[in-house]
A and B are shown apart, each in its own frame.
Chain A
Amino acid sequence: MAYSEMVIEHAENPRNVGTLDKEDPNVGTGLVGAPACGDVMRLQIKVSDAGVIEDAKFKTFGCGSAIASSSLATEWLKGRTLDEASAIRNTDIVKELNLPPVKIHCSVLAEDAIKSAIEDFRKKQSAKRGS
């Protein structure tokens, strides 16, 4: 199967690779997928007090399409509010990267990772408020 140019571009030059401090109350971490299924994504967001995502990092174990999907997701997340970030759909990723049907699950995983990171952040925030 031939890869789209966008997938190759992101896989060869992944954006925002790295790790944020998962103990930081302003950081939300999403870890989705499973090693036995061949892909695991960890996506992290750092949210300002104004509720805007000021940084996003990822690490992914997976095929080129999975790496590209998470790389693209981090690019899109920066500068968005949490509500705007929640609105990102896997179909947007499929369209942007031109993913073939067999790789759609990579985009689904990226959407799950975004949701999971936001949820983690919100949980931390409500715990902070509660304490």
Chain B
Amino acid sequence: MSLKFPIYMDNHATTPMDPRVLETMLPYFTEHFGNAASRSHKFGWTAEEAVTYAREQVATLLGADKPEEIVFTSGATESINLAIKGVAEFYRDKGNHIITTKIEHKAALDTCKRLEKEGYEVTYLDVGPEGVVSVDDVRAALTDKTILVSVMLANNEVGTIQPIREIGALCKERGVIFHCDAVQGIGKTEFSAKDMGVDLVSITAHKMYGPKGVGALDVRRARPRVRLTAQIDGGGHERGNRSGTLNVPGIVGFGKACEILTKGWREEAARVKGLRDRLKDKLFAELDECHINGAWDDARRLPNNLNVSFSYVEGEGLMMAIKDVAVSSGSACTSSSLEPSYVLRALGVEEELAHTSIRFGLGRFTTEEEVDYVGDLVVNKVKKLRDLSPLYEMAKEGVNLKDIVWAAH
């Protein structure tokens, strides 16, 4: 098979839709276009049946107690907003304290920041260089005012997996609601809401080979029954948790995407991990001064993530040099704010190294041929850019770059 360009290795940002998913969705745009809330005719019933079926498929992947727990949303940002704000508002009389980590997605962090303005107190836990939050730190942060703990299953930049089962057990013991943003980890690492004691789970379809614009929030309905204050008012859809006409084709595709993962995620994860390790081995064998950001062991890192800093080579400069390959960087230059990645900063990665980081996100459709091509290309371009780097030259001459007084600009 010949290579097709550009090569996509940014599967943490989004994933291509699986053709099987698209095929399942198609009839629901034209033929079965009914409103799932229409109770009076066949069009509505067909749509509702399809949604019910998808709800089961989603619930199975998440390990939810019952399909009725699933609330469909427009995506994970909405799910996370609904979970955090919904709990905060509903349980306001019980307490005003929320615990989360410094490496959560902005959807969680910015939601927490808004709540702080409204009088809630939020503890943002450190993660340390491994990029994994400590259960003891969560325990130490709990107070009698704590109403919610929100921790992601896996981080979107460094792919580190958080101790969800342990945090779930702790929250059960203390009677605190536990929300998990499982967007990046679901279908790539072990997860079960029921077995792990998670009360609320946010996921989105487009990170798992489904369509954009549809997500879900799993809301536990028994032991404990979690209550939420709805954030979108209207026709009372989704048992009043989320009003708005259901995106039936999207939900159908989402269900199919979940089903594919339920059946085959382990095989897929093993295959992708093989490719990811092949890429890492190539880079580390042929280049010096490469640094993995975050924990590297299988138990604590997603199988598809490789986040590496190539010292003395600025990330955006490297991305431009490999412009036929889609990756992303923690370099400041890639963001409009000119600030390097807050996740890498939370891991204690020094700014000069953060500027040299590249995130490779492999996926279902990544091939060995692509990995070999990307490995060769990156090795070649890093060498070329190091020849162009005054820092590499100085380091090789034995100059300690930390001894130089740099003029910040």
Task: Tell whether A and B belong to one assembly.
Answer: yes
Which chain A residues have a beta carbon within 8 Å of chain B's beta carbons? 3, 8, 11-12, 14, 17, 19, 31-42, 59-64, 66-67, 102, 105, 108-109, 112
Task: Please name all residues of chain B whose beta carbon is closer than 8 Å to the beta carbon of A108 when the two chains form the complex.
Answer: 409
| Given A17-B387, A60-B388, A62-B317; A32-B336 close (CB under 8 Å) | no
Task: Please name all residues of chain A whose beta carbon is closer than 8 Å to the beta carbon of B389 when the two chains form the complex.
Answer: 59-61
Tier of interface size on chain B: 20 to 34
B311, chain A: closest CB distance, angstroms: 10
The CA-CA distance from A105 to B389 in the complex, in Å, is 18
Q: Are B409's CB and A38's CB within 8 A? A: no
Within 8 A of A (CB), among B306-355: 312-314, 316-317, 320-321, 331-333, 336, 338, 340, 350-352, 355
A102, chain B: closest CB distance, angstroms: 6
B315, chain A: closest CB distance, angstroms: 8
Task: Please name all residues of chain B whose beta carbon is closer than 8 Å to the beta carbon of A12 when the two chains form the complex.
Answer: 321
Given A33-B406, A35-B355, A59-B390, list of 6 further CB < 8 A pairs?
Answer: A8-B320, A60-B388, A61-B314, A64-B316, A64-B317, A105-B409
Which chain B residues have a beta carbon within 8 Å of chain A's beta carbons? 312-314, 316-317, 320-321, 331-333, 336, 338, 340, 350-352, 355, 387-393, 401, 406-409
A35, chain B: closest CB distance, angstroms: 4
Closest to B402 in A: A35
B400, chain A: closest CB distance, angstroms: 12
Q: Are A32's CB and B407's CB within 8 A? A: yes
Q: Are A41's CB and B390's CB within 8 A? A: yes
A118, chain B: closest CB distance, angstroms: 17
Task: Please name all residues of chain A whose beta carbon is closer than 8 Å to the beta carbon of B351 when the two chains form the complex.
Answer: 35-37
Q: Are B388's CB and A14's CB within 8 A? A: yes
B332, chain A: closest CB distance, angstroms: 5
The CA-CA distance from A3 to B334 in the complex, in Å, is 13
Give the residue of B312, B352, B388, B390 whose beta carbon is less than 8 angstroms from that of A36. Answer: B352
Give the residue of B312, B314, B387, B401 whose beta carbon is less than 8 angstroms from that of A39. Answer: B314
- Interface SS, A side: mixed
| Given A36-B406, A36-B408, A38-B331; A19-B393 close (CB under 8 Å) | yes
Between A11, A32, A108, the greatest number of chain B beta carbons within 10 A of the residue's beta carbon is seen for: A11
| Given A33-B409, A62-B314; A38-B391 close (CB under 8 Å) | no
The CA-CA distance from A39 to B388 in the complex, in Å, is 12
Task: Please name all residues of chain B whose beta carbon is closer than 8 Å to the beta carbon of A60 when the two chains form the complex.
Answer: 388-390
Closest to A11 in B: B320
Task: Please name all residues of chain A whose beta carbon is closer than 8 Å to the beta carbon of B350 when the two chains form the complex.
Answer: 36
Task: Please name all residues of chain B whose beta carbon is closer than 8 Å to the beta carbon of A42 when the two chains form the complex.
Answer: 390
Task: Please name all residues of chain B whose beta carbon is closer than 8 Å to the beta carbon of A34 when the two chains form the complex.
Answer: 406-409
The CA-CA distance from A34 to B391 in the complex, in Å, is 10
Task: Please name all residues of chain A whose beta carbon is closer than 8 Å to the beta carbon of B406 when the two chains form the complex.
Answer: 33-37, 40
Give the residue of B316, B336, B391, B393 whose beta carbon is less than 8 angstroms from that of A35. Answer: B391
Q: Are B355's CB and A38's CB within 8 A? A: yes
The CA-CA distance from A123 to B409 in the complex, in Å, is 24
Task: Please name all residues of chain A whose beta carbon is closer than 8 Å to the beta carbon of B387 when the two chains form the complex.
Answer: 17
Task: Please name all residues of chain B whose beta carbon is closer than 8 Å to the beta carbon of A19 when the two chains form the complex.
Answer: 393
Task: Please name all residues of chain B whose beta carbon is closer than 8 Å to the beta carbon of A59 when the two chains form the complex.
Answer: 388-390, 393
The CA-CA distance from A109 to B350 in the complex, in Å, is 22
Between B333, B355, B406, B409, the greatest number of chain A beta carbons within 10 A of the residue's beta carbon is seen for: B333
The CA-CA distance from A60 to B393 in the complex, in Å, is 11
B368, chain A: closest CB distance, angstroms: 28
Between B321, B336, B388, the greatest number of chain A beta carbons within 10 A of the residue's beta carbon is seen for: B388
| Given A14-B388, A38-B340, A40-B391; A63-B333 close (CB under 8 Å) | yes
Task: Please name all residues of chain B whose beta carbon is closer than 8 Å to the beta carbon of A61 when the two chains form the complex.
Answer: 312-314, 317, 389-392
Task: Please name all residues of chain B whose beta carbon is closer than 8 Å to the beta carbon of A11 when the two chains form the complex.
Answer: 317, 320-321
Task: Please name all residues of chain A whose beta carbon is closer than 8 Å to the beta carbon of B391 when the two chains form the complex.
Answer: 35, 40, 61
The CA-CA distance from A66 to B332 in the complex, in Å, is 13
Between A19, A31, A38, A112, the greatest number of chain B beta carbons within 10 A of the residue's beta carbon is seen for: A38
Closest to B336 in A: A102
